[in-house]
Amino acid sequence: MKVLVVGATGQLAKSLNRVISREAGGMSSLFSFVSREDFLITDKDAVNKFFASNHFDAVINCTAYTAVDLAEDEPEQAYDVNVNAVKYLAEAAESIGAEFYHVSTDFVFDGEGDSQYCESDETNPLSVYGETKLEGEKIALEVCSRTQIIRTSWLYSAFGNNFVKTIIRLAKDRDKLTVVDDQVGTPTNAENLARAILKMVFAKQKHFGEVYHYSDGGECSWCDFAKEIVRLKEIDCKVLPIPSKDYPQKAHRPRYSVMDKSKIVDDYAVRVFDWRLSLKDFLMSL
């Protein structure tokens, strides 16, 4: 099986590469990691040209426009990456009979509920980012018959910029931090997500045309998350809660976006780890 991973410079693709190298070194030759230097995913002709010259059995799309607030000012750019590029990649995958694995987000929900979201629950994104990610999901499922969507949340890794690394940096420089405590979700170690995706790719029985949720287990606010980071790193910095109204941002965030993972557990026997344990393991590995 030959697998193409699109978005090689992003934190999820890099985490995939690390997991493959560490835990499945013998499979490394099956994977090809590509970035914009190989072809521009927002250029349909460039995508088609690349796929015409290369054959893959599966495509994992790790690319996304993830600047949630900037997307409010740059909706065209967000749409180009989160919708158009997804369509081009999914169409190309369909043209060669490849499976298409597309990563999406909990931001497709409005967060107005108080119970965990299942895949079949109504979507109602509050931001340009959420809207474009939802549209990308729909298009992928429409144009590629062997698509599977994996929604995730609050992703962090050793690569790039993310909440964990930002909190560590700020906490080392300040006596106190204020972090919103009225947005609740679930942090996700990118390497755990990578393992879940790999389990889907190499499963004997596939479930095409389906949407799945995967994050670590449990739930917390951003403030709880920050407190745990500071505690585990033993940094002398107070983390104080504030409401979202005191930390204005351009894009609206869901108030509660915890996702139910039972479907991916049942269909693919994927393991879900408590977010605190995943964070502890991650910080120990830094």
Catalytic residue among 79, 101, 117, 129: 129
DSSP code string of 90-134? HHHHHHTT-EEEEEEEGGGS----SSPBPTTSPP---SHHHHHHH
**Token digits of residue 164:** 């964990």
What's the gap between Cα 214 and its chain centre? 9
Q: What is the DSSP secondary structure assignment for residue 65, as one 8-state letter?
A: -
Specify whether 247 is catalytic.
no
CA distance 189 to 193: 7
- End-to-end CA gap in the chain: 32
Residue 10 near residue 62, CB atoms below 8 Å: yes
Q: Give catalytic residue positions.
A: 129
